[in-house]
Structure 1
Amino acid sequence: LYQYGGNIISVQVENEYGSYYACDPGYLRHLQRSFRALLGSEVLLFTTDSAGAEELRCGTLQGLYATIDFGPGSNVTEAFGAQRQVEPKGPLVNSEYYTGWLDYWGEAHASTSSAWVARGLEDILQLGASVNMQVVSWWRYMFHGGTNFAYWSGADFKDQYKPVTTSYDYDAPLSEAGDPTEKLFAIRTVISKFQPLPVGPMPPATPKYAYGWVALQKYADLLDVLDVLCPSGPIQSQFPLTFEAMKQAHGFVLYHTQLPWDVPDPAMLGAPPHSICDRGYVMLQKEYQGTLERDGQTVLQVTGRAGDTLDILLENMGRISFGANISDFKGLLGNLSLDSRHLSNWLMYPLAIDTAIQHGWPHAALLKTSSGSRAGPAFYTGTFETPGSTWDTFVQLPGWGKGQLWINGFNLGRYWPRHGPQQTLFVPGSVLHVGYPNNITVLELEGAPSTPLLLFLDHPLFNTTL
């Protein structure tokens, strides 16, 4: 903290709480007391909300400095006028100036023009906003793009569930890989009108390397390696349990039961509305039948005989992180039915895939024998070597469906090229090895191409939706 010789001059207590339906000042008072107890009385505590009157009414509290957020194209004078309604004195602060936006699976890559961002920033600074000790300062969301590695990409709810892509490039001034963009230089030009720029050249972009094509081979179908992925064994229940009830924070759970009667003619296997959270990959007698999904297809036609195995691999695609729907339970939230008759007697396998892979599986294990052509969830493996250096790179999965990718045990995140817009995953050079093979593990959920290949590029591919 600043009062102890550090560089932290203020601490944010809440973020856009005014957009949450509760509107509970008691909650904000509790946070205020807690922060004061931990940080003392000298540090400046603040909140952030949009410039709407209702949001500022519910998101602010006397004793917490109220700031606002908005992006380019907003009426700067009106926005700061709204802040003045709740903070008559003190600095004008836009604590989240949106330099771009995030991407959702199945939609176009979001972008915001550099000129628009620069013009909005200049309008803010011309009002003397965010000035502290005669030094211009501001927060920007986001200044640096990033990556939602592993399972950390969240979701929004805007009339429907909208999962966020693995890439959080955001069209930010610094790219996902940390490289300067045209937008950064436009921002520097604006800043130079208000204060001198630092002396010296700008750091260049980091080297990237196109390692080329890598061939993979199928290792095993997921259903054949449950002993490795769930060593503690299944949880038994008459009806399906949620991820939360099984203490599975993210990733995957396999739900297993058997058909209780013969189904000689096509019957409807389905779930109640909004009870598939978020995607379910259905296998009958280990044969892939198709996918059930939230806000999408919730029924499949199946046939079978009494005792046939029915498996549904449920994928958590990311939790809703904003608004009134953040109590976002995952898994099978309702009873699956066959021709309107509920199925029961479930075995549920919370899968610890990352734990297994971080311990060397499957590269340290013997190759499994499995159907090379079977669709549905399966693991693929391969290796490649780097030519003396480990540079950042981007990996593309041409012809693949949807899944998860690990290199050297590091979970790079989800891929979904058929849905887009993101077509490549960012691979930091720090993940790679020099002098011995780099291990690739892919969990393909729907079906790999007949010749399973990956392609390492020296640039990202963002904006393609199939």
Structure 2
Amino acid sequence: MLAVGALAVLPLCAVAVWGIERSFSIDPERNCFLKDGEPFQYVSGSIHYSRVPRSYWRDRLNKMYMSGLNAVQVYVPWNFHEQVQGVYEFDGERDVEYFLNLANQTGLLVILRPGPYICAEWEMGGLPAWLLHNPNIILRSADSDYLQAVSNWMAVLLTKLRPWLYQNGGNIISVQVENEYGSYFACDYNYLRHLRTLFRFFLGEDVVLFTTDGNTDKELVCGTLEGLYATIDFGTDTNITTAFRRQRRFEPKGPLVNSEFYTGWLDHWGDKHAAVETQKVSRMLEDMLSLGASVNMYMFEGGTNFGYWNGADYDSRFRSVVTSYDYNAPLSEAGDPTDKLLAIRDVIKHFRDVPVGPMPPASPKMAYGFVTLKKVGNISGLLDTLCPQGPVQSHHPLTFEEMKHYYGFMLYRTVLPRNLPEPTPLISPMNGIHDRAYVSVNGVYQGMMERDVTLVMNVTGRAGDQLDMVVENMGRVNFGNKINDYKGLLGNLILGNDVLTDWLIFSLDIDVMIATGWPQAGGVDVPPEPKSEGGRGPAVYSGTLQPTGLAWDTFIKLNGWTKGQVWINGVNLGRYWPQRGPQQTLYVPGSLLSPTVPNNITVLELENAPEHGRVLFMDRPQLNNTRAQS
């Protein structure tokens, strides 16, 4: 049996001292945390404020508290707060201090994970895309340009959060430095030393700093550093004794900690919907708590990858993470309690007092029914509206990063160099389309090219015909050695024997326009479309959901639509791709809807819209229906 110290018999080593200063520390002799001088075991759950609407933060935290948790674990995504270099956003949905205050009011301590890299299946692992302005930068290393950017960011963030440390009267009991660094190829101890110095300078000497790494020797060797308490993460497929024995090799004394105990898992487009059995989760949680270990459940509520915030993985090929981050977690994407949550609460009852009272119920849902959308126009005919600043001219294609247009879509335009009466291959010879390109000639949709999958397609036309390629960024890689993930056209395209040159490049500010009320507000003259076009190719559609007197959560389903993006009242819900799956519906928080005025619905369909033009608002999600890739 693994020796785990005195945490299993807390009453024997608990010493209450009246008037003691607030403190949180590690007791290496008793192998436990000390909170105000007394042994402490946390039972925590992960929640990401960036994936939950601000209006629901209190509800989610209350449900976590009523489940018996005494702490929450929180990531801070750097790119969520500094999308443009030097411009910091901490208001509204980005008000992390308000979130910390709500957790404090609820009675929850906080385990903070400020990065700078967080993974989290989040766009570029939380690193801002503007770091890629330097093509030679080595991310997550002692590269001087990277360290300068990190230092500037941490000076802002950690100064803001220092008052929230537990010893300063707040609720942050510990702070993670970096994240799963042992999984990264660099293994740069100078980088970790720099971070340790930064964190100590801004947070002081008393705060507990820790690392988290996967359960292998290699990961722990490269991810740990003296002065940072080493913790591990693992799920239900791991032997607990073996895992904690490995942690003990790196931390011979102190508390046992599983910083990410996986209650579920993520989905990629085209995968089957992930699930982890409730019984396995509850049984393993009980075993770990019986050993006296502190445990954080990842995730407790997953939430949603709104907008363009989903990440991607790259193993043998690029795989984008779906919009839903439901994660098969104890609280659903919409924040509803599940059987898994009730089973977990029953386990926690054996180890600490669970708050008395009923579990807050699921939020009410509404099936608002069908809404018919009308076509506004093809993207190629809306450029005066969607790119009012006009195009950039370039002999060769420029990336999203070179254009300083980091997310969403860009349109690349050139002309056919010669007559192509027969189908002629358009080729991306270096797999340089990141991530999908939708190709039209003279406004007529020709087909699609996809990174790692479809690198060649045929086109026809006449010399001088307009070739348009709408390129979609489907989320930057968030894990591994390919996080330097540039987007757009990364190299020349070849048409037959010709290298295509002399491009006009349009940054599509579609989110900005929709946020101002377009297209429902009108005021756009759309040129007539080619009759053969129909519903094919990138185009905008709009309609309104009429008020019903109720603004309840709902789920939008796009039956017959192919792939694209949805906005409700100017808010980007995320990507839909029912033809690929598994996700078939998008979560619509009731807080986005108006019960009294028409609700604007805007859809950017990238490939092929159905003739019926309808979308359906349902009262339940559909997250588990994978189709054959198309």
Give the TM-score band, short-chain normalised.
over 0.9
Distance in 2, Cα, partners of 1:29 & 1:190: 39
Query: Which of 382, 398, 405 is 1:225 aligned to?
Result: 382
Distance in 2, Cα, partners of 1:450 & 1:369: 20
Which residue in 1 is equivalent to 2:598? Answer: 437
Is the CA contact (8 Å cut-off) linking 2:535 and 2:611 kept in structure 1?
Answer: no
Question: Shift in Å at residue 447 of structure 1?
Answer: 1.1
Query: Which of 266, 289, 296 is 2:446 aligned to?
Result: 289
Residue-by-residue CA offset, 1:263-285 (whole Å, 9 max, x unaligned): 22221111024211000000011
Letter in structure 1 aligned against 2:273: H
Query: Which of 87, 90, 103 is 2:267 aligned to?
Result: 103
Matches of residues 109-120 of structure 1 in structure 2 within 5 Å?
109-120=273-284
Which SS does the other structure have where 1:439 is aligned? strand
Distance in 1, Cα, partners of 2:564 & 2:412: 18
Matches of residues 70-89 of structure 1 in structure 2 within 5 Å?
70-89=234-253
Question: Shift in Å at residue 374 of structure 1?
Answer: 4.4
Letter in structure 2 aligned against 1:148: N
Which residue in 2 is equivalent to 1:13? Answer: 177
Which residue in 1 is equivalent to 2:391? Answer: 234
Question: Shift in Å at residue 73 of structure 1?
Answer: 2.4
1:91 to 2:255 alignment: yes
Residue-by-residue CA offset, 1:59-88 (whole Å, 9 max, x unaligned): 000000000000112100110111111111
Which residue in 1 is equivalent to 2:328? Answer: 171
Question: Shift in Å at residue 366 of structure 1?
Answer: 4.1
Query: Which of 373, 383, 387 is 2:534 aligned to?
Result: 373
Q: Which of 376-385 and 193-202 deviates more? A: 193-202
Residue-by-residue CA offset, 1:405-428 (whole Å, 9 max, x unaligned): 001101001000001000000000
Which residue in 1 is equivalent to 2:587? Answer: 426
Question: Shift in Å at residue 386 of structure 1?
Answer: 3.0
1:278 to 2:435 alignment: yes
Distance in 1, Cα, partners of 2:497 & 2:402: 25
Greater share of strand: 1
Residue-by-residue CA offset, 1:96-125 (whole Å, 9 max, x unaligned): 111000110011111111001111111211
Structure 2: state its 5+ residue gaps: 1-164
Which residue in 2 is equivalent to 1:205? Answer: 362
Letter in structure 2 aligned against 1:393: T
Which residue in 2 is equivalent to 1:404? Answer: 565
Distance in 1, Cα, partners of 2:241 & 2:490: 47
Greater share of helix: 2
Is the CA contact (8 Å cut-off) linking 2:535 and 2:609 kept in structure 1?
Answer: no
Residue-by-residue CA offset, 1:341-383 (whole Å, 9 max, x unaligned): 2110001001110001111111111463544714100111101
Distance in 2, Cα, partners of 1:324 & 1:88: 31
Is the CA contact (8 Å cut-off) linking 2:535 and 2:610 kept in structure 1?
Answer: no
Structure 1: state its 5+ residue gaps: 131-137
Question: Shift in Å at residue 248 of structure 1?
Answer: 1.1
Distance in 2, Cα, partners of 1:413 & 1:175: 17
Which SS does the other structure have where 2:178 is aligned? strand
Q: TM-score, normalised by structure 2?
A: 0.72
Is the CA contact (8 Å cut-off) linking 2:415 and 2:466 kept in structure 1?
Answer: yes
Which residue in 2 is equivalent to 1:134? Answer: none
Residue-by-residue CA offset, 1:118-146 (whole Å, 9 max, x unaligned): 1111121121111xxxxxxx321111020
Query: Which of 483, 491, 495 is 1:338 aligned to?
Result: 495
Which residue in 2 is equivalent to 1:128? Answer: 292
Distance in 2, Cα, partners of 1:374 & 1:383: 20
1:216 to 2:373 alignment: yes
Which SS does the other structure have where 1:14 is aligned? coil
Distance in 1, Cα, partners of 2:584 & 2:606: 16
Which residue in 2 is equivalent to 1:460? Answer: 621
Question: Shift in Å at residue 340 of structure 1?
Answer: 3.6
* Matched-pair identity in %: 60
1:2 to 2:159 alignment: no
Residue-by-residue CA offset, 1:151-171 (whole Å, 9 max, x unaligned): 111101121111000000000
1:57 to 2:221 alignment: yes
Letter in structure 2 aligned against 1:338: L
Distance in 1, Cα, partners of 2:334 & 2:528: 38
Residue-by-residue CA offset, 1:285-313 (whole Å, 9 max, x unaligned): 11101100001111111121110010100
Question: Shift in Å at residue 5 of structure 1?
Answer: 1.5
Which SS does the other structure have where 2:382 is aligned? helix
Equivalent residue pairs, number: 459
Distance in 2, Cα, partners of 1:272 & 1:83: 46
Q: Which of 190-199 and 346-355 deviates more? A: 190-199
Distance in 1, Cα, partners of 2:237 & 2:292: 18
Q: TM-score, normalised by structure 1?
A: 0.97
Letter in structure 2 aligned against 1:377: P
Query: Which of 342, 357, 376 is 2:514 aligned to?
Result: 357
Distance in 1, Cα, partners of 2:430 & 2:618: 41
Provide the alpha-carbon RMSD of the alignment: 1.1
Is the CA contact (8 Å cut-off) linking 2:559 and 2:578 kept in structure 1?
Answer: yes
Which residue in 1 is equivalent to 2:420? Answer: 263
